[in-house]
Structure formats: structure tokens, C-alpha cells
């Protein structure tokens, strides 16, 4: 219901959709993770719960998610650097990484209230959950 959060989300939805479309073009359907349904559910919950606690919680959550995404992109870029090829893919991932860092920084700037113990644990859970999801994806 918050018009500021709705505007923020709408503004960044186009970027996220562009990233998703690019990844879908790169990966054939049979190579995509079988975990997409549970991830979508987890993503919905991760986005919906903070709304109950206000703007600061929403922006803190976005910053936490984008912090993880930035690190994940960096790992992939470093792997491509080690291989010494796939320059076009590396450039695309670098562009996407910059987009995510901009989202992170914008959300962090809007989350100026200091968080308490619950906020600190929530942000930690987001990072841990994201790491677990990536680890599972490598095996499933």
C-alpha cells in the first residue's frame, strides 16, 4: 500500500525482468533449476514479510538480497576470468552486477533507521538462505 515502495518496486521490476529474460535465453529449459517453484515462494515470503514492519524493513531486505546477488555475480565473473574466455557473457554479468549494486545502494540509502536485533537476524537469514539456495542449485 505504500506508494514509495510501490514506485521503487515498479522502477526496478523492468531491470529485473531484463535480467531474467537474458538468463532464460542463456539456459535451455532442461538446464534450469528444478527449484524455481520453491524459490518463487521463498522470494514472495522474503518480500511480503518486511512489509508488515514498514519501509525500513523493506529497504533493508532489498539491500541484503542485492548484497548477496552482487557477491554471486562476482563469483561467476571471477570463474569466467579464470577460464579466460566468454567475454560477452562476462560483460553481460558485469552489467547486471552494476544494476544490482545500484539497487542495493538505493535501498540502503532509503533504510536510514538503525535496525535492532530482529533486523540484524533477518538480514543474516536472507544471506544464509541465499547461500543455501545457490548451493542446492549446484546439486539439483
**pLDDT value at 88 more than 90:** yes
CA distances from 8 to 44, 49, 109 (A): 16, 17, 12
Q: What is the pLDDT of residue 69?
A: 95
Cell numbers found for residue 105 = 545502494
- DSSP annotation of 116 reads -
Given a cut of 80, whether residue 114 has pLDDT beyond it is: no
CA–CA dist 8, 29 (Å, integer): 31
pLDDT at position 29 over 90: no
Name the nearest CA neighbour of 62 among 15, 132, 18, 22: 15
Cβ-proximal residues to 44 (8 Å cutoff; 6+ apart), any chain: none
> Using 50, 70 and 90 to split pLDDT, how confident is the model at 2?
confident
For the chain, count helices (H), then strands (E): 5, 0
Mind listing the pLDDT tens digit for each residue in 45-75?
999 999 998 899 999 999 999 999 999 999 9
Amino acid at each position: 500500500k505504500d506508494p514509495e515502495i510501490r514506485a521503487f518496486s515498479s522502477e526496478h521490476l523492468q531491470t529485473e525482468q531484463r535480467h531474467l529474460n537474458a538468463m532464460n535465453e542463456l539456459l535451455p529449459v532442461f538446464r534450469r533449476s528444478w527449484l524455481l517453484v520453491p524459490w518463487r515462494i521463498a522470494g514472495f515470503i522474503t518480500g511480503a514479510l518486511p512489509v508488515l514492519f514498514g519501509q525500513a524493513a523493506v529497504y533493508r531486505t532489498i539491500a541484503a538480497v542485492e548484497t548477496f546477488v552482487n557477491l554471486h555475480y562476482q563469483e561467476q565473473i571471477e570463474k569466467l576470468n579464470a577460464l579466460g574466455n566468454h567475454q560477452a557473457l562476462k560483460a553481460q554479468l558485469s552489467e547486471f552486477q552494476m544494476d544490482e549494486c545500484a539497487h542495493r545502494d538505493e535501498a540502503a540509502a532509503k533504510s536510514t533507521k538503525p535496525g535492532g536485533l530482529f533486523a540484524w537476524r533477518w538480514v543474516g537469514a536472507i544471506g544464509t538462505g541465499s547461500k543455501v539456495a545457490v548451493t542446492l542449485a549446484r546439486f539439483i
